[in-house]
A and B are shown apart, each in its own frame.
Chain A
Amino acid sequence: EPEVTQTPSHQVTQMGQEVILRCVPISNHLYFYWYRQILGQKVEFLVSFYNNEISEKSEIFDDQFSVERPDGSNFTLKIRSTKLEDSAMYFCASSEGALSTEQYFGPGTRLTVT
């Protein structure tokens, strides 16, 4: 069964460093998303992406964040200068369509900023 994959599973970085989190969405899906979950808190929406453009972004997704689909399969989230409060589990998701279609999540990347 197709699934969303994410790499790495765990990333440790120092404050101020740039990180790139990678995702491979399900191959026939057209809509891509990033969410994050700080330990013990809710899953929060960061950004949605369709047709090589950001469709929507939350207040969390500030200028330090960017997304890219560099080729036909990968979808990346870049954090330019990490802060301690960026430590969280980052989930990529994809869906076939827009409204009323299931979003399938990857296993997540645990980002630890020291």
Chain B
Amino acid sequence: SQQGEEDPQALSIQEGENATMNCSYKTSINNLQWYRQNSGRGLVHLILIRSNEREKHSGRLRVTLDTSKKSSSLLITASRAADTASYFCATDNSGYSTLTFGKGTMLLVSP
């Protein structure tokens, strides 16, 4: 079974619009982290949400976690062209903080 599956696979929006990406997972987790990756580059940590938290904010980012549905969402408000990247959720469900990544959502923000 797959852990950490994002949808949609690709999302194309205009600057100023909001972008919502979803992540589903199958086993219980300690925390869930969202990362951004620009093409061919490294992973930039965006936000961590713990299993006992339901919502977190960081700047234009809002993350929710619903452990009963085993799902999380990442909302980017007032998107900018610079937000164009792939976004991954990663779940920590081991005893050793190993992360299991999804396939990612490719976000394209057009000016």
Residues A48 and B96 in contact, CB atoms below 8 Å apart? yes
Q: Is the CB of A99 within 8 A of B48?
A: no
- Flag whether A68 is at the interface (Cβ < 8 A): no
**CB–CB B98/A45 < 8 A:** yes
Query: How far is the CB of B6 from the nearest CB of chain A, in Å?
Result: 10
Contact with B along A85-109 (1 / 0, CB 8 A): 0000101010100111111111110
Q: Tell me the complex Cα distance, A58–B97, Å.
A: 13
**Are A100 and B45 interface neighbours, CB within 8 A?**
no
Tell whether, in the assembled complex, residue B97 and residue A95 are in contact, meaning their CB atoms are under 8 Å apart: yes
- Chain A 32-67, CB-CB to B under 8 Å as 1, else 0, gives 010100000111110010100001101000000000
Q: Which of B35-43, B64-72, B73-81 contacts A (4 or more CB under 8 A)?
A: B35-43
| A56 pairs with B98, CB closer than 8 A | yes
Min C-beta distance of A55 to chain B, whole Å: 4
**Contact partner, B45, options A56, A89, A105, Cβ 8 Å:** A105
Residue in A31, A43, A110 whose CB lies within 8 Å of B97: A31
User: CA–CA, A93 to B43, complex, Å?
Assistant: 10
Q: Kindly provide the distance from the CB of A96 to the nearest chain B CB, expressed in whole angstroms.
A: 11
Interface residues of B in 17-39 (CB under 8 A from A): 30-31, 33, 35
- 10 extra A-B contacts, CB within 8 A, seeds A99-B92, A100-B48, A108-B41: A35-B101, A45-B98, A50-B96, A89-B40, A100-B31, A103-B90, A103-B97, A105-B42, A105-B43, A105-B44
